[in-house]
Amino acid sequence: MSSTRITIRPLRFSDAEDIHELMHMPNVLWGTALLPSSTVDAWGKTVEKWVTDEQVHVFVVDLAGKVVGAIKLKVGRGREGHVGKIDMAVHDAYQGQGIGKMLLLAVIDLADNWLNLVRLEVNVYTDNERAINLYKRFDFEIEGRKRCGAFRHGSYIDSYIMGRVRVGDSQSQADYADALTQHSEATKSAKVGSGGPSEVSEPN
């Protein structure tokens, strides 16, 4: 069976069409507050804002030239400068193959070892068990519940506020970096197939 090289890289202006397609996948829409009517032009403007905003860091998973996953880390300002908010999405056709894990490893390495962030947080719909379990594997905890946080498919849905507070242990931080390196080596010729978390922001 043939293998395909996976690359994790920063977002580019030219990724707008792939991002638009990614965000319109049925499973992605199900896990987000996005509308199916958002346009390529709207996403083009959003991608441009993300690329040029120094507070925003976006990694994508590039599979043979196509973006099949993305994670955004937005760093807070002022007295929230130690906080990072995460949104993530994985293309429906490539879920369940570790792409979400790869993206989280990349962002946690950036947050811990480059940006010196103390807290990471994410909102997840309460019925998104796959995403909840993935975040828990990376030390995120459920801190609260937003009742009727969004309207989806004709009814209201609650969401969890999940947070990860970085341990002060430098060894724990090094472990994340080691895990990222090992996982990257293991996936240089990985086979990708199909789930994953889907939390992304509305295009501006």
DSSP string, 42-100: HHHHHHHHHHH-TTEEEEEEEETTEEEEEEEEEE--GGGTTEEEEEEEE-GGGTTSSHH
pLDDT on residue 144: 97
**Model pLDDT, residue 154:** 92
CATH number at residue 85: 3.40.630.30
pLDDT value at residue 174: 60
Going by pLDDT thresholds of 50, 70 and 90, the confidence category of residue 196 is very low
Distance CA 81, CA 116 (A): 10
Q: What percent of the chain has pLDDT over 90?
A: 77
Q: Does any domain span residue 25?
A: yes
Task: Report the SS3 class of residue 195.
Answer: coil
**Per-residue pLDDT tens digits for 149-177:** 999 989 999 999 999 999 765 555 566 55
Whether residue 115 is contained in a domain is answered as yes
Token output for 3: 């293998």
Residue 11 covered by a domain: yes
Cα distances (Å, whole numbers) of residue 62 to 49, 66, 90, 107, 146 = 20, 5, 11, 16, 33
Task: Report the pLDDT averaged over residues 122-139.
Answer: 96
Q: Is residue 192 part of a domain?
A: no
Residue 175 is given by DSSP the state: H
Q: Confidence band (pLDDT; 50, 70, 90) for 52? A: very high
Mean pLDDT, the chain, rounded, equals: 87
Residue 4: what pLDDT?
A: 72
Does residue 180 have a pLDDT over 80? no
Nearest-angstrom CA–CA distance, 87 and 74 = 9
Residue 199: predicted pLDDT: 45
Q: How many domains does the chain have?
A: 1
Do 58 and 10 meet the contact criterion of CB atoms below 8 Å apart?
Answer: yes
For residue 196, give Cα distances in angstroms to 1, 71, 73, 94, 166. 23, 12, 17, 8, 23
Which whole number is the average pLDDT over 104-130? 97
Map tokens 């947080």 to a residue: 121
Quick: pLDDT tens for 24-35.
Answer: 999 999 999 999
Q: Residue 195 domain-assigned?
A: no
If one compares 190 and 88, the residue with the highest pLDDT of the two is 88
Amino acid present at 49: K
Q: Which domain holds residue 33?
A: 6-186
- C-alpha closest to that of 28 among 92, 71, 106: 92
- Asked if the structure places residue 196 within a domain, the reply is no
In-domain check, residue 83: yes
pLDDT digits (tens, 9 = 90+) for 67-107: 999 999 999 999 999 999 999 999 999 999 999 999 999 99
How many Å apart are CA 13 and CA 22, to the nearest integer? 15
Burial of 71 (0-12, 13-18, 19+ CB in 10 A): buried
Asked if residue 200 is part of any domain, the answer here is no
Residue 148: band (very low, low, confident or very high) from pLDDT cuts 50, 70, 90: very high
